[in-house]
Structure 1
Amino acid sequence: MAGRLEGKIALVTGIGAGIGQGIALRFAREGATVIGCDISEQWAEATVAQAREEGLALSSLHPIDLTKPADVQRYVDHAGAVHGRIDILVNAAAIAPHMTPVAQMDYEREWMPTMVGEVDLVFLAVKAAWPWMTKVGGGSIVNFASVNAFRGSTNTGMVAHCAGKAAVMAMSRQIAVEGGPHGIRCNTIAPGMVQTAATAAAGTSTGEIAERIKARLLIKRLGVPEDIANAALFLASDESTWITGTNLSVDGGVTAV
């Protein structure tokens, strides 16, 4: 099928690379008008240039720091003012969490920045988009949890990351409850290990750690951004209008065993 998001106004954060980039391009290819953002002006411009070459409706406001309320409000209100409404919000931006064991984790320098970078930025974007969505009778919000909302890791210290992603999942259920009367749906995607520049830089999608992860998977490969974009497309589209408050695990089967 083509044009599954035809006529939709979609906000996608973190379009400069990885999952956010994959979702933004996929949504635009399916007919959405996509307004993205990224903290990196260089990366955002590269994504916009790629979309331009394909003739896609994808623009970006950058640089935007999604941990700063004023930046988030400026981004969302820009999109709403230009297009008059917001139909879809995908909180795909990722800020690298601090992977430190609980006994060594510093509260101010590691725990709090991870919570702000994984939980607060989702709350801020949802709050800013809420009046634009209620104005047109609803919309779809897609947030990102993780397999680490369900399980710990023996590969690296993930106490803050596990807590942050579990919080996003719980918060999203409540957003679905509060959004129901307004026609606002909210769901989460919980990816497994996805091959991106960020996970490669962290050493988790290559080498020995990647091999240990693949050994636990039912489908013996790591994920790619397109796997996640496919799931986000379904949850953002009108194909899922009776789905809210739920989580879709896209993880090669790792949480099944």
Structure 2
Amino acid sequence: MNMKTIWITGGSSGMGKAMALKFKQEGWNVAISGRNEERLQEAMSELNAINAGQAMSVQHDVRDYEGCAQALADIVSAYGPVHALVNNAAGNFVCPTLDLSPNGWASVIDIVLNGTFNCTHVLGKHWEAEELRGGCIINMVASYAWQAGPGVAPSAAAKAGVLNLTRTLAVEWGYQFGARVNAISPGPIERTGGAEKLVSHVKEVERIRRNVPLGRFGTPEEIADLAYWMASDEMRYLNGDCISLDGGHWLNKHPF
């Protein structure tokens, strides 16, 4: 049986790396990509320690369409057709909107929304050329894509765009490729680095923790388990959906 291959952007750390480890443990060929070669090699040392599947890394910037196309070509050269993609690469920072520079806005939009489009589009072209059906795309979003949130205007706008792209392609590419396109909305997740960028004060971290009905932050491994389940044949009828894995955090916005 031919192994399936998955491409995970932003796969060198946090949730991306956890997903890469999970898929490789399950016997998939895994390709991780990112901008930082040193981080990619550190992640590869962990992936290579798993005695299942195969793994490779590709250094590129999701903002560069041609770079995304070349990254996919390198993966295809190594493993053949690519069956799944996780658009995990992201960028964010907290800033009041009036203090936001045009460059700050453009940077986040370019990574999150345009980067997701770039990788998704080159994969769609690949599926078309290979006449491959039944592929899977998982996009990483956030609850402020539909709820909004202060200080994260570019990320909220970009994630809203990604969520709508997810649903649009679930219909369009469902018909065209028999493909499934879904999204995950993680809540506060430990050991990802993202929380440290958004929240620096210990009291604020504890306030967020209290606002999670289950009383804790999630783990990258829990996100990885969900991503694997969503990509598996068990979920071959799941399409155009967004699953929140956040302990109920998005439902509870009132501080105690």
**Cα distance, 1:205–1:90 mapped onto 2, change above 3 Å:** farther
**Partner Cα separation in structure 1 for residue 168 and residue 231 of structure 2:** 18
Q: Which residue of 1 aligns with 2:218?
A: 223
**Partner Cα separation in structure 1 for residue 223 and residue 201 of structure 2:** 19
* Structure 1 contact 23–232 (Cα < 8 Å) conserved: yes
Q: Which residue of 1 aligns with 2:81?
A: 85
Q: Which residue of 2 aligns with 1:165?
A: 159
Q: Cα deviations across residues 145-197 of structure 1 (Å, max 9, x unaligned)?
A: 1122133445xx11111111111101110111111121111000011111234
**Partner Cα separation in structure 2 for residue 62 and residue 218 of structure 1:** 39
**Partner Cα separation in structure 1 for residue 141 and residue 2 of structure 2:** 27
1:15 and 2:45 aligned: no
1:218 aligned partner, one-letter code:
P
Q: Which residue of 2 aligns with 1:62?
A: 58
Q: Which residue of 2 aligns with 1:100?
A: 95
TM-score (normalised: structure 1): 0.90
Q: What is the Cα deviation at residue 206 of structure 1?
A: 6.6
Q: Cα deviations across residues 205-230 of structure 1 (Å, max 9, x unaligned)?
A: 77122111112111111111111111
TM-score (normalised: structure 2): 0.91
Q: Which residue of 2 aligns with 1:125?
A: 119
Where do 5+ consecutive residues of structure 1 fail to align? none
Match of 1:211 among 206, 210, 215: 206
* Structure 1 contact 14–38 (Cα < 8 Å) conserved: yes
Match of 2:241 among 228, 238, 246: 246
Q: Percent identity?
A: 26
**Partner Cα separation in structure 1 for residue 218 and residue 133 of structure 2:** 35
Q: How many residues align?
A: 249
Q: Cα deviations across residues 91-147 of structure 1 (Å, max 9, x unaligned)?
A: 11222x23211111112x211111011100000001011133342223000001112
SS at structure 1 position matched to 2:98? coil
SS at structure 2 position matched to 1:62? strand
**Partner Cα separation in structure 2 for residue 215 and residue 186 of structure 1:** 33
* Structure 1 contact 133–184 (Cα < 8 Å) conserved: no
Task: Report runs of 4+ in structure 1 exceeding 4 Å deviation.
Answer: none
Where do 5+ consecutive residues of structure 2 fail to align? none
1:210 aligned partner, one-letter code:
V
Q: Cα deviations across residues 80-99 of structure 1 (Å, max 9, x unaligned)?
A: 2332211111111222x232
1:176-195 → structure 2 map (5 Å cutoff)? 176-181=170-175, 182-195=177-190
**Partner Cα separation in structure 2 for residue 188 and residue 216 of structure 1:** 23
SS at structure 2 position matched to 1:59? strand
Q: Which residue of 1 aligns with 2:194?
A: 199
Q: Which moved more, 1:119-128 or 1:61-70?
A: 61-70
SS at structure 1 position matched to 2:193? helix
Q: What is the Cα deviation at residue 56 of structure 1?
A: 3.5
What is the root-mean-square deviation of aligned Cα atoms in Å?
Answer: 1.9
